[in-house]
Copies of this chain bind each other. A is one copy, B any other.
Amino acid sequence: MRTLYGYFRSSAAYRVRIALNLKQLECEHKAVNLIPGVSEQKSDAYRAINPQGRVPYFIDGDVKLSQSPAILEYLDEVYPDVPLLPEGAANRAYVRQLANIIACDIHPLNNLAVLGKLKGEFGADDALVKKWYGDWITEGFTALEKIVSGSAHTGEFCFGDTPGLADLYLVPQMYNARRFNVDTGPFPTLERIDASCNTLEPFIKALPENQPDAPKA
């Protein structure tokens, strides 16, 4: 049996949820409450599961993994029926490049631990933290929009007309951009692809607000 430790708002867990849904893989979801003050991820009980004290953490029989990029590559290798990566090394490299811009150049700078440190140790107020958050999204999305809008690979989705790896990085990051009121108007291609994804059941089912641990509206 598969288990995913996540948090409704964790965009790294959100990526993995989309992948599991696209591949129609059953999985038990266990919520780890990351909200500052609760910080269940730092508990001894959770650190006994994942010593790094982060989500997502994925268990598939004997395989136990942290780090969403590693989890996603694993899922694509072991459950290839609905592939996340295209055929051909150059195509795969192109898609991974798009994913990495989000995974390495945007998301790590926007996670809760980072924002907490800026507020605490750097004494930053909410406005400055919000600017930091938006600046990294804007810089990364500017590069991404330029690449995707100019690429012959782009179709309804980041690579052709089937949703894949780059899309499941894009959608959670766009979700965060909207949540923090970052202007996504300068990124029309990314907006269009995000909208396409969000009409699909695997993406809708993975939305933060559709998780059991999301606060009821």
Which residues of A does B touch, CB under 8 Å?
Answer: 51-54, 62-63, 65-71, 73-74, 77-78, 89-90, 92-94, 96-97, 99-101, 103-105, 107-109, 114, 117-118, 121-122, 124, 128, 131-132, 135, 143, 146-147
What is the oligomeric copy number?
2
| A88 CB → nearest B CB, Å | 9
Known interface pairs A65-B97, A121-B132, A128-B122; A51-B89 also in contact (CB < 8 Å):
no
A53–B143 CA distance with the chains assembled, in angstroms: 9
Provide a sorted-by-A list of 14 A–B residue pairs whose CB atoms are within 8 angstroms: A51-B146, A65-B93, A66-B101, A66-B143, A67-B96, A70-B96, A70-B97, A74-B93, A77-B93, A104-B108, A105-B108, A108-B108, A121-B128, A122-B124
Within the assembled complex, what's the spacing in Å between the Cα atoms of A132 and B114?
A: 10
Query: A108-B108, A114-B109 are contacts. A97–B62 as well, Cβ < 8 Å?
Result: no
Q: Quick one: which of A51, A53, A104 has the most chain B CB within 10 A?
A: A104
Q: Bound complex: CA of A118 vs CA of B124, how far in Å?
A: 10
A62 cross-chain contacts in B, Cβ below 8 A: 90
